[in-house]
Structure 1
């Protein structure tokens, strides 16, 4: 058996080495004494015995997931007249603010503030209101309106900028 050197203390490892991550470092092969300094990491083997990902404590790992950022949650801009649309749709259905609040499981005070335009609804609340009142509160720029056959486009920087050339 080939003798290995501990990557932490430098001594020759007697017996089996352990793969350990010490304070967030890359995994190192260390002796039993230095193994206590960190968390043991098991090496999973991939196809044909190739080394795979390393996981703490030898638990099976899920594939890495990309972290979500703010732009993943943006669906579009809420319309400027959202308060009027909500109020009109609610009155068309003939329900009070309290009844709407009960239906979407939110507080009546929240519905009042949204209808007065004092508060812009968060996405979760907006979706509940849209579903309950069967209305749309998001701008539909770039989406083909049903029955019209025309497509709305957004203004781009190239539409409004003038480039000065020497």
Structure 2
């Protein structure tokens, strides 16, 4: 196996690499130290390539299954320009329960894994756009903050809290 180098700092990666989006960049393979600089992203899992052997009970050479990394909370650059609402997990859970669906039923309806639904509802994973769109369609909910936020006279919505514009004053000449 060829050694991997961190796409952020260039150092040799010891152990497992992580797929991270730093400041809105494309996902990169990075070392543990650079992984703290961004947001770990969900890895798309597909059918595994066959090892050339057929038969029941044949295991991979490593003997362990690949699990996608847990995605941490998004960084500030992921929040720019209308993003997923903070209470996404609660909205998904409530809508699912209103429809009388279990997590397994929802996963089957979306053609996704039940484990993915569990992680999303437990706030361990923020759904990627494709999964978010499926959730919105199946549960008939909205998970993206609306672009046109209501005006409260201060130039921002109350729900956003203090903004940079509230803190600074612009001097005019």
TM-score of the superposed pair, with normalisation by structure 2: 0.44
Choose between structure 1 and 2: higher strand proportion. 1
TM-score of the superposed pair, with normalisation by structure 1: 0.46
Q: Which structure ranks higher in relative contact order (CA pairs < 8 Å, sequence separation ≥ 6)?
A: 2
Greater Rg by CA: 1
